[in-house]
Each structure stands twice: as structure tokens, then as C-alpha cells.
Amino acid sequence: MQPSHSSFQPDTYWRSLHYFNLFRLTVAGFFVVAYIQFGTVPFGEDNPSLFFLVSILYTLFAVVMMVAIGVHWPSFNLSLSLQMSADVGFIVTLLHLSGGIRSGVGLLLVASLAAAGMVRRGRLAMFHAALASIAVLLEHSYRVIALGGDVRDYLQAGLMSVVFFATAGLAYTSAKRLIASESLAQKQSVDLANLSQVNQLVIRDMQDGVLVVDESGRVRQRNPQVEKLLGAPPRVRRKLLLNDYFPALAVQLWKWRNHDGVDFPPLLAPSTGRQVQARFVPAGIKRSQGVVIFIEDVSQIQARAQQMKLAALGRLTANIAHEIRNPLSAISHASELLQEEEGLDAANARLLQIIQDNTRRLDRIVQDVMQLNRRDRTQSEQLDLEGYLSDFIRQFCDAENVPSGTFGLSLSAGAAICFDRHHFDRVLWNLCRNAWRHCRKQPGSIQLEAATPPGGNSVQLDVRDDGDGVAEALRNQLFEPFFTTDSKGAGLGLYIARELCETNGAALDYVESEQGCLFRISGRRSCSETNAEHDQG
């Protein structure tokens, strides 16, 4: 909101009047000090002692006015008129005691009129000019009539009066321009303040984090979204460095400054467990200067893409279920009837068994694809891994006929994960089934290890086996749909497991290990932050 003119005018005017009075005090004090120091001065030749007395009175008047200006008394216009009238009286008196118009003391009125015109910024300056002109002319007339002064000095007195009016007029014109400039500056300052406030609101409410980093790597500014994506910065006595806050991001910044055309992969924030993508924009001409870093939440981008993929996949799976599953049921039922026929030879029985096996395999593929279509039906909850994994191992061993001693369990204290329970069952069941298929089938061949970084909201669950591992040439194809090394498998297990992890805001990766296979699930430890974001949305 723009302040009214009256709200700031008095303070500005009184401050100007204060400086005007300082000029008066300086002039009067100079006369007093010069007389005390030297005994005689170039001025006041007609009556030095009276000149000294008037200078003292002029100085005392300036001191009194300083106190009055400090308390804003009397009113501004009255105070200015009083001071200007006193200036005219004192200076004309000093001019008279110094020998008249030729002494040059009257020029002090020019400075006073200019100052008064700038202070008042109005037409009152012309009145002060008229008052000064009348006083100078009266003084010279008295000198001519009573003291025998030179009549020819009227020309100089008249010229000085013209200077008075010219000075007042110039001060008045300058004051008008100054008022217009002040008004424009005040309007622009309000507009700039509003624009700055709007920018702050926009940056504060942006979904992307914004970091401003200078050339030395210090974090100058950040918006609240940065702490939601990266976590709270560490408490350090010195100024916060980007390397202290997020070392991986500092490495990317260094590469961006020193190499052109570098594509940066997403980063995993340890404190929040979020995947973020950084975008660097130079704040100056050179990259070595300050930089603005925009931090995007990769999970939101993936979520939007996932919604579109889910919609298309839903239509696809509906057609698959309608076009494939019903014919498969008919084929399976027909083959079962043929198998019940008496006198069936071994060759035909083998062919019918092949039909049965492949129809069941196709049915599993349809079920797996339909499972993908149900990923949007998530009900995330915070699962206590200690109790959950113990129950899971018992159920898995009973269902898959696996000795319970095959599994080893290692957990950090208070380990938990935010996940849909049914989705987590599906992911772990697939990973443990693969581990059992490829391990050495000995006690402790399959290890489940959970770790939680201190002070963060992330958790890592490793599923490790002691088998031969995955050939390096096949690792890039592990999570591709319909890729399998098992002749009886559908090739959708790891693909579906990764998709279900991404649906729950987690990640599933293959980690190189010295022995066997190691699959790692990286997710959130607590669901409170996720629920808060959903509530805000």
C-alpha cells in the first residue's frame, strides 16, 4: 500500500529545516569565533562591538531554533517564516554595521533564500525574497538619507534584489521538479516493493527448490521447498557451504562450471530419500560467478508420467483380459477333457500337457499385467521391518517349501519402511524366489539386511544370495519386461517389482557384489511427510 504524502512530508521538511539552521549556526558562529580570535574582522567596520553583539544574538537564535526544530514547534510554516524573517533582520543589521551594500554581507541572504525555497518547496519563497529586497532597499535608503551614502549604490541594491527574486524563483522551480521526482521515486519504490513481495511469494510457493550459491560455494539464499526436498541444512558456525549441505550437488556444480554440455543424472537426497534433478542457471556473465540452482522433485515428474502410463495400461489390460483370458480358459478346459479320455497314448498325453503348461503360463502373464494396472490402488503404511520380515520369512518358507535356516536377518534398530503391504509382499516374494532359485541352498544363503542412515527419512533393504550372480552382459536387461533366463518364467517379475517400488516412492536397483546377487530397495522410513504432502495437495 502506498503511503500518503502527508505521512512522510513533515519528517522530511523538518529534517531539511534542521540542516538550514545548521548553516545559520555556522555563519553566526564564524563571526563570533573570528572576533574572539582576532579581535577585528573584515566586517563590522562601522561598529565592531555592536557587530560582535549582533553575531552573538544571531548564534543564540540559531541554538534556540535547533531546540525548537527538535520538538517540531511551532508549526513548520510559522517556524520557517520566523527563521527567514530573523535572517533578514540579523543579516541586514550586520550589513549596515559593515558599511552597507558594498560590504558583500548581503550575499548571505542569497544562500538563505535558496535554502528556504528548497526547504519549503512552495511560493512562500517569493515572499521571503520580497522581504529581503525591501529590507536591503530600506537599509540603503537610510544610509543615503541619514548617513550621506552614495546614491549610485542604489543600482547595486537593485541588482541584489533581482538576485534575491531570481534565487527564490529558481529554488521554487527546482523544488517543483524535486517534488515530482520524489513522487515518481516513491511510486516506483512501492512498485518495486510489491514486485519483490510477489517474487518472494512465487519463489516460496514454487514446487521446485531454489538455491542461490556464490562463486565460493556459499549458499546465499534458499526457499522453503529446498528443505522439503533435501532436508534441513547442518548447523555450522561459519556460513553454509553447498559441499556441507549436499556434497553430490556440489560435485555437479563443479562439473557444470568447468565442462560444457554435461548431462547430470538424478541425485538421491540422503536426508529425505528423494530423487532430485538439478538445473543450473548462471547469475552473472560467467559460470564462475554466482549460480541459481533449481532443484526438481523427480518423483513428481515420474508420478505424472506414471499416471499417463497407468491410464494407457489400464485400457490395454482390459482388452487383454477380455480377448485372451476367455479363450485361454476354453483351451485349458478342452485340454483337460481330452486328458480324461481313455486309451490316450503317451505322445498325445505329452502334447496335451504342453498345452496345459503354456495356457497356465499365459494366464500368469495376464495376471501379472493386470497387477500392474492396480498399482494406483496403493494404501501406504509404515511397516515395522523387524516384525514384518520375520512373518514374511515364515510364510515364504512354508509356501515355497524352503528351510527356514536358509534366511539370515540383519536389521538396524527401529527399521521401518513406508509401503503398501500387498505391494511389498509381491516385491519381496519375487526377489526371494529368485534368490532361492539361484543360491547354494545352504543355511544363511539368503540374507535380508536393513539399514537406516542417521537423521534421515530413508531406509535401504538388501536382498542378497550366495549364488553365481548375474552375468555382466545381462545386467542392463534385468528390469526389462519379458526378459528371463528361466524357460518357465514369464519375464515380468523384476519389471513388476521395480514398477511397484516406484509406485510407492521407492527404488529397486541391482548392486554389484563380490559374490552372488544383491538387490536393494531404497524407500522412505516414515509416511508422515508423504501424508502431509497429500493433505496440502
Residue 37: helix, strand or coil by DSSP?
A: helix
pLDDT at 273: 78
pLDDT at 442: 92
What H or E segment, with its residue span, contains residue 392?
helix 385-400
Please identify which residue in the block is written with the cell numbers 512552495. 122
pLDDT at 377: 62
Q: What is the 3-state secondary structure (H, E, C) of 312-333?
A: HHHHHHHHHHHHHHHHHHHHHH
pLDDT at 318: 66
CA dihedral 393, 395, 401, 402 (to 10 degrees): 0
Per-residue pLDDT of the chain (537 residues; tens, 9 = 90+): 344 443 334 677 888 889 999 999 999 999 999 888 887 667 888 888 899 999 999 999 999 999 999 998 888 888 988 999 999 999 999 999 998 998 889 999 999 898 888 876 566 788 889 999 999 999 999 999 998 888 989 999 999 999 999 998 898 888 788 878 888 888 888 888 888 788 777 777 777 888 989 988 899 888 888 888 888 888 876 788 898 889 999 999 998 988 887 888 888 888 887 888 899 998 877 787 889 999 988 877 766 776 677 667 667 766 766 677 778 888 888 888 888 887 778 888 888 888 887 887 777 767 766 665 555 567 889 999 989 999 999 999 998 899 989 999 999 888 899 998 888 998 999 999 999 988 999 999 999 999 887 767 889 999 999 988 888 778 777 887 767 766 566 667 888 888 888 888 899 998 888 888 999 999 988 887 554 444 444
pLDDT at 534: 45
d(CA 493, CA 501): 12
DSSP state of 241: B
Bridging pattern class, strands 446-451 and 458-465: antiparallel
pTM (two decimals): 0.44
d(CA 275, CA 253): 17
Helix 154-204 and helix 124-147, axial crossing angle in degrees, nearest 10: 160
DSSP state of 310: H
Helix 76-97 and helix 124-147, axial crossing angle in degrees, nearest 10: 20
d(CA 214, CA 232): 20
Q: Are 118 and 171 in contact (CB under 8 A)?
A: yes
**240 exposure class (CB count in 10 Å sphere: 0-12, 13-18, 19+):** middle
b/e code 280-316 from CB counts within 10 Å (16+ = b): beebeeebeebbebebbbbbeebeeebeeebeebeee
Q: In what order do the strands lie in the sheet with 209-213?
A: 219-222, 209-213, 291-297, 275-282, 267-268
Q: What is the 3-state secondary structure (H, E, C) of 160-186?
A: HHHHHHHHHHHHHHHHHHHHHHHHHHH
- Residue 177 identity: R
- Residue 345 identity: D
Beta-carbon contacts of residue 163 (< 8 Å; ≥ 6 apart):
110
d(CA 125, CA 121): 8
**Number of other residues whose CB lies within 10 A of the CB of residue 222:** 20
| Grid cell locating 267 | 541425485
Closest C-alpha to 385, from 269, 515, 521, 494: 521
What H or E segment, with its residue span, contains residue 118?
helix 108-120
pLDDT at 341: 80
Beta-carbon contacts of residue 344 (< 8 Å; ≥ 6 apart):
338, 352
Helix 108-120 and helix 76-97, axial crossing angle in degrees, nearest 10: 170
b/e code 138-168 from CB counts within 10 Å (16+ = b): ebbeebbeeeebeeeeeebbeebbebbbebb
Q: Are 522 and 458 in contact (CB under 8 A)?
A: yes
- Computed on alpha carbons and rounded to an integer, the radius of gyration of the chain in Å comes to 46
- Residue 1 identity: M
Distances (CA, A) of 414 to 417, 455, 522: 10, 13, 16
Does the domain made of 380-536 have the CATH classification 3.30.565.10?
yes
CA dihedral 195, 197, 199, 205 (to 10 degrees): -150
| Grid cell locating 156 | 547595486
Q: Are 113 and 128 in contact (CB under 8 A)?
A: yes
Q: How far is CA 65 from the centre of its chain?
A: 51
pLDDT at 142: 93
Beta bridge partner(s), residue 295:
209, 278
The topology (CATH level 3) of 209-297 is Beta-Lactamase (3.30.450)
**CA angle, residues 528, 531, 535, in degrees to nearest 5:** 135
Beta bridge partner(s), residue 381:
419
Hey, where are the domains in the chain?
5-195, 209-297, 301-373, 380-536
